[in-house]
Copies of this chain bind each other. A is one copy, B any other.
C-alpha cells in the first residue's frame, strides 16, 4: 500500500523519510525566497476537484503590473488515493480531467512558466503559510437509501486536518475554509480546535484569535470549470472582523471581483448556511417537479412543454428545474443532509429541515420511477437486454459521483436483465468497482430490447432513430429519462414501430395519441 497510481497508470512510491527531510528544506527555502520577492505564501489543502483548480487560480493571480501576488503550495495527503496528484502537478500537468481548455494551460503556466505553484505532501508546509485555503473533501453519510433524515456528517478527518494546521501555522495566518461544511462548523468545530492548538503552543488566543474565514465556491464541472471558480460571485464571512477583512482582500486579489462582486455576510454561520441553502433550493425544486412529472404522465401531459411555457416568466419562474432519471453529483445529494444534521448535532435544535431532507429522499429514489415505467411497458425484465446510455451524473461531463444510473443499474441487475452501459466521456465507473465503460455505441446497442437515454450527452441527443434501431438490430423500447429526444425523434421512433416512454412525458399511448394528428 505504499504506492499511489495515477489515472494514466503511472505508479508513484510514497516518499521515504529521507525525501521527507529534503522536501521540508525545499519548502523552507522556496517560501523564504518567494516571501522576499514580496509574495504571500498560500497553502491550499486538498488537491481535489476544487482545491487543485483553486490553487492554480491563486497561483495565476497577478497585480496590476503583471507580477504574481502569491506563491502557492498545493498540499495533499500521502495516501493511495491522493499522493499521485503531487508529482503530477509538479510535472506541470493537471490532476483533473475536464473538457475545459483552460485546464491543460493553467497548470503548466503556473508550475513551469510563472513558477508560482508547487505541490507537496509535507504537513510542515503550514509553518510557512500566510494564508491556508481549506479544500478538504467532506461527505455526508446516508446509511439507508430514502432515509436521509438519518444522514450525518463525520467531521473527524476534517477536525484532524484543522488540528494539523493549528499545530504549525503562524497565529496571524488566515484560514479560509472553502469546503462545504455543516452550518456552524467554523464557529463550533474549527475555532475551538485552533484555539486549543494555539493555547498548547503558548499562543495567547485573546491577543491572537485564530483568523478563520469561510467562502464557498460555486464550481461547475464542464467546459467552464476554471472560470466557474474564478469568474463567479462569492459569498464570504469571517469569524471576526479582521478575518473577514483578510478574506476580502485575498478574494479580491485572486477572483474576478470587478465583474462578479463578492458579498460579505455577518457571520460564518450565514455563509455556511448560504451554500447548503443554495443546493437545498435546487434539490427541493427538482423533487417538486418529479411529483408533477408523475402527475403529467398519468394525465397524458408532456411536462416539459408545460415547463417551457412557464419559464418565460423570467425572475419568478425561470429557475424551474426538470425531472430526470435522478439527481447525482456531489452537492445536491448531500448539502441538505449536512444542514439537517447540523441543526441538531451542532446547535442542539429540535426542529430540523424536513422539506430539504425529504427532497433528498425523493431525488435519491427517483431512478426507481424509470424502472417502474420500463416495467409498465415491459413486465418481465429477466434476460431482457437493456442498453443504458450515460453513466455520468450530468450531461457532457465525465463526473460519475453519485450518478443516478447506479441505482437503475443495480435494480436492473436484480431483475436479471442483461445490461450494457455506454458513456462517451466516462472511461471507468469508479463507483461500480472501476467498471470499464464501453466506448463503442454499436456494441452497447447490439441486440438491445430496451434503450435507456439516461444522460443528455450531446452525442446521444444527436442520434438518429434509424441508426439506433439499426444498431439494435430490432425495434427496442425507447426510454427517455429527461426530454432528451425531440418530438421529431419520438415521431420517427413511433413510425418505425418502437414504443417510446418518457419520464414526465406521458406513456406510449398518449404519445401516440399526440402524434396521430
Residues of the B chain whose Cβ atoms lie less than 8 Å from the Cβ of A278: 310, 313, 317
Is there a chain B Cβ closer than 8 Å to A120's Cβ? no
Contact A287/B355 with A277-B310, A300-B267 known, Cβ cut-off 8 Å? yes
Does A265 lie within 8 Å of B306, measured CB to CB? yes
**Size of the chain A interface, CB-CB below 8 angstroms:** 62
Is there a chain B Cβ closer than 8 Å to A208's Cβ? no
Is there a chain B Cβ closer than 8 Å to A233's Cβ? yes
Q: Report the stretch among A91-99, A345-353, A435-443 that lies at the interface.
A: A345-353
Q: With A and B bound together, what is the CA distance between A277 and B287 in angstroms?
A: 13
Mark A261-297 against chain B: 1 for CB-CB distance below 8 A, else 0.
Answer: 0010111011101100110111011011001101110
Does B263 lie within 8 Å of A308, measured CB to CB? yes
Does B265 lie within 8 Å of A305, measured CB to CB? yes
Does A273 lie within 8 Å of B298, measured CB to CB? no
Total identical chains: 2
Residues of the B chain whose Cβ atoms lie less than 8 Å from the Cβ of A320: 281, 319
Most buried by B among A265, A284, A299: A299
Q: With A and B bound together, what is the CA distance between A514 and B270 in angstroms?
A: 12
Is there a chain B Cβ closer than 8 Å to A376's Cβ? no
Does B281 lie within 8 Å of A317, measured CB to CB? yes
Is there a chain B Cβ closer than 8 Å to A497's Cβ? no
Is there a chain B Cβ closer than 8 Å to A108's Cβ? no
CB < 8 Å neighbour of A273 from B273, B282, B306: B306
Q: What 5 pairs across the A-B complex have the smallest Cβ distances?
A: A319-B319, A263-B309, A235-B309, A270-B301, A233-B312
Chain A interfacial positions (CB closer than 8 Å to B): 183-184, 218, 233, 235, 241, 260, 263, 265-267, 269-271, 273-274, 277-278, 280-282, 284-285, 287-288, 291-292, 294-296, 298-302, 305-306, 308-310, 312-320, 339, 343, 347, 349, 351, 353-356, 358, 362, 514, 517
